[in-house]
Amino acid sequence: MNAIISAPELASALSGAKPSVLLDVRWQLSIGKAAGEPPFDGRAAYRTGHLPGAVYVDLDRELASAPGGHGRHPLPNLAVFGAAMRRAGVSSATPVVVYDGGMGWAAARAWWLLRWTGHPDVRVLDGGLPSWEGPLETSVPQPAEGDFVPVPAADGLLDADGAAALARSGVLLDARAGERYRGEVEPIDRVGGHIPGAVSAPTTENVGPDGRFLPAGELGARFRELGVSPSARVGVYCGSGVSAAHEVLALAVAGIPAALYVGSWSEWSGDPERPVAVGPDPQ
């Protein structure tokens, strides 16, 4: 099953016999906001207009736990996550489509969590809300309670030690901007740089100017150039495990399975005992 769905495909599916549950996960990273500018309010944006029947899901509160020693967006409490999914009408036998404001990072985080915890049919709206040409609504739906119970998979998740080991034995991709990887700037975390052995692979290069993913063949070629071979084990990290989920999604579009280091650089760099590499080279 393709991990993404186009807006025309979604419009057609919603008129079918088994319409998807829609999750609106609009969220923005606060980097670069002007002094005094209020943080982005995804729930307020949702109330101004959302896909018909979509339920809002809060990334910071329902797709992550509170910031701490395991990073800025650690794994959510699975009881909280499961309750949020059931409240939104998610059942194990019902397809789910997730979208955000267009960047795709937050939607990919929800996609990854649902897939990792056992949901068999989850896709991301390619291009997010800006790609949707149908009607929007402002009313807040009250879907019937779903039955989804998250059960974590045995694989697909990396901790700090696992990420370090994969950087040596496989391919560990760093999805952040190149200047953060090189250690030239670090607007959020304690120190700039990257995990030794990780390869710079900005997730922004997986999409075109319209925010939609590049074709699967182009994505596959990109990842091959970064050292991903058919036999390689692949992992991804970013700043806090959100944009890295988008890169895991891009890899899935290309037919390449990959694990996510959820703690990412915010966890790794928070421990001064862990090594930090700087510059353009992995080592």
Phi and psi (nearest 5°) for 260? -115, 130
Interacting residues of 50 by C-beta distance below 8 A, sequence separation 6+ = 24, 56, 129, 136, 137, 138
Interacting residues of 244 by C-beta distance below 8 A, sequence separation 6+ = 175, 203, 236, 237, 238, 260, 261, 264
**8 Å CB contact between 281 and 238:** no
Annotate 127-159 with b (16+ C-beta within 10 A) or e (fewer).
bbbebbeeeeeeeeeebeebebebeeeeebbbe
State yes or no: is 7 an active-site residue: no
Q: At 262, is the secondary structure helix, strand, or coil?
A: coil
- Detail the DSSP E strand segments found in 111-176: 122-125, 157-158, 171-174
The 10 Å Cβ neighbour count of residue 182 is 18
Q: Among 45, 110, 167, 238, which one carries the catalytic annotation?
A: 238
DSSP type of residue 70 = T
Host H or E run for residue 111:
helix 105-116
- Which residues carry out catalysis? 238
